[in-house]
Homo-oligomer: A and B are copies of this chain.
Amino acid sequence: MKDEIVDKNSIIPIYYQLFKYFEKQIRSGRLQPGDALPTEMEIAARYDISRMTVRRAISELTSAGMVYTQKGKGTFVARPRLDSVVFNLNNFFDEIKQKGMNPHAELLEARIIKADEKLAERLGIDVNTRCLYFRIVITADGEPLAYETKYTIYSKQTPILESQLIDPLLSRLAAAHSDSIPSSSKKVLMVSKATEDEAEVLGVTSGLPVFFMSQTIYDADSKIIAWGKTIYRGDRYKLISYEGWNVEDIKNS
């Protein structure tokens, strides 16, 4: 009854209750950046819990970037890092759905081709190696938003299902039709102007600024097994990044 902070009989783990308690202290400003937390021993004694449990709670706070520890000195409230920017580009389909729109992928073309010099160079393979080539356009409520062109090595020569081609995850396709297992990926985001071909597919005027993203997929031996490019309409797409401690509040403002 003395301490409402930690309820040992709760179903909620003690370390989590403690984590939430300090999180609230910091978010509300009762603990300011630079302030020291009580020592681990103090916290353990105050709430009559083991020091290992206290450490678990502090470990969660550290992961969340809210505190940092200094050996021999103590644990201190961190300053929010507001200037390292992380832009997230998650599954396009889910993002569209999340906005209450209806996503759809349409297959424009799919062919088995023999690699020309340019493609052979890109995929790090010999000229004339058999590759799978296809193009899709992604729409939201019927309006084109993104245009993808993809290539992958076609070593297995297994039948191709349309459902695989419109799968937004290139790595899954590469896994199905190449001998290698996707292990790593490199994506590069650039700006560009829509070419005439791109403009037509996307239903915009040629020259519109667009996001241009290339993706290269590698296997465990760092060999390239797939390559693709995606054009996102610049007038409809933006990347948003939130940082700090009261992110949920500003998302709604």
Contacts and interface: CB of A to CB of B under 8 A. Distances in A.
Nearest to A170: B83
A88 to B, nearest CB: 6
Nearest to A84: B90
A205 to B, nearest CB: 12
A245 B171 CA distance: 14
B220 A29 contact: yes
Contacts of A216: 250
A46 interface: no
How many copies, total?
2
Contacts of A243: 184-185, 187
A142 interface: no
Given A184-B243, A187-B241, A210-B191, A90 B85 contact: yes
Give the 10 A-B CB pairs with smallest separation, nearest first: A184-B244, A191-B234, A85-B89, A82-B185, A191-B209, A87-B87, A82-B171, A189-B239, A222-B249, A187-B241
Given A52-B52, A186-B240, 11 more contacts: A82-B169, A83-B185, A84-B89, A85-B187, A86-B86, A86-B87, A87-B187, A185-B242, A185-B244, A186-B241, A186-B250
